[in-house]
């Protein structure tokens, strides 16, 4: 009984640290970067929610304590560290693919292996995917996000150019 209570306290402390760390990143991130990378972050967040839904429906993702604990853990991880880490990585890479790839390969490795092992040990959730498969999924997501961001930036440039052409034509 005491061990279970200690795990609950530990999980709650980790949740608070994750939220506070995310808020710190949000506070330090320049507003311009936040606005610039918000669309790709929302895209990525929606994709991750869809993946977790798939894993849950197919019983590949479980949490002790039922659906309310699963929702809490999911929201803390996705809306907290995932959301702001995504913004931060794009901000740090500043559009440079090799730097973006390097940051993601290293960060995703740390997340997929030691951090996921810790979360499993503490009973945050159980995932029936190997760490290698999970790592490949999250790295693939990172590269899809980069492609999305590049397409989004190109579309914005085209829109700005069209608007400038329209303004010049009106003169």
Kindly report, residue by residue over 2-30, the tens digit of the pLDDT.
555 666 788 889 889 998 988 888 899 99
Closest C-alpha to 118, from 16, 14, 3, 1: 14
Whether pLDDT at 1 is above 50: no
- Position 162 scores a pLDDT of 64
DSSP string, 4-37: HHHHHHHHHHHHHHHHHHHHHHHHHS-HHHHHHH
- Position 73 scores a pLDDT of 87
Residue 99, φ and ψ in degrees, nearest 5:
-65, -45
Strand partners, 126: 62
pLDDT tens-place string over residues 33-49? 999 999 999 999 999 99
pTM assigned to the model? 0.85
Print the domain residue range for 146.
2-170
Of the listed ranges 52-66, 111-125, 128-142, 150-164, the one predicted with least confidence: 150-164
- Position 161 scores a pLDDT of 64
> In angstroms, rounded to a whole number, what is the distance separating the alpha carbons of residues 95 and 11?
36
pLDDT tens-place string over residues 50-83? 999 999 999 998 887 788 888 888 898 898 899 9
> In angstroms, rounded to a whole number, what is the distance separating the alpha carbons of residues 112 and 38?
24
Q: Give the total number of structural domains in the chain.
A: 1
């Amino acid at each position: 009984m005491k061990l279970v209570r200690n795990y609950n306290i530990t999980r709650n402390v980790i949740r608070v640290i994750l939220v506070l760390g995310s808020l710190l990143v949000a506070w330090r991130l320049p507003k311009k970067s936040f606005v610039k990378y918000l669309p790709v972050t929302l895209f990525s967040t929606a994709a991750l929610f869809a993946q977790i839904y798939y894993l849950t429906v197919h019983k590949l993702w479980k949490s002790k304590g039922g659906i309310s604990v699963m929702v809490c853990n999911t929201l803390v991880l996705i809306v907290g560290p995932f959301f702001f880490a995504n913004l931060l990585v794009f901000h740090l890479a500043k559009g440079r693919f090799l730097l973006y790839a390097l940051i993601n390969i290293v960060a995703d490795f740390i997340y997929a292996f030691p951090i996921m092992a810790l979360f499993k040990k503490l009973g945050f959730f159980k995932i029936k995917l190997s760490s290698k498969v999970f790592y490949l999924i999250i790295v693939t997501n990172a590269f899809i996000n980069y492609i999305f961001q590049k397409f989004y930036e190109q579309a914005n440039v085209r829109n700005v150019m069209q608007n400038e052409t329209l303004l010049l034509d009106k003169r």
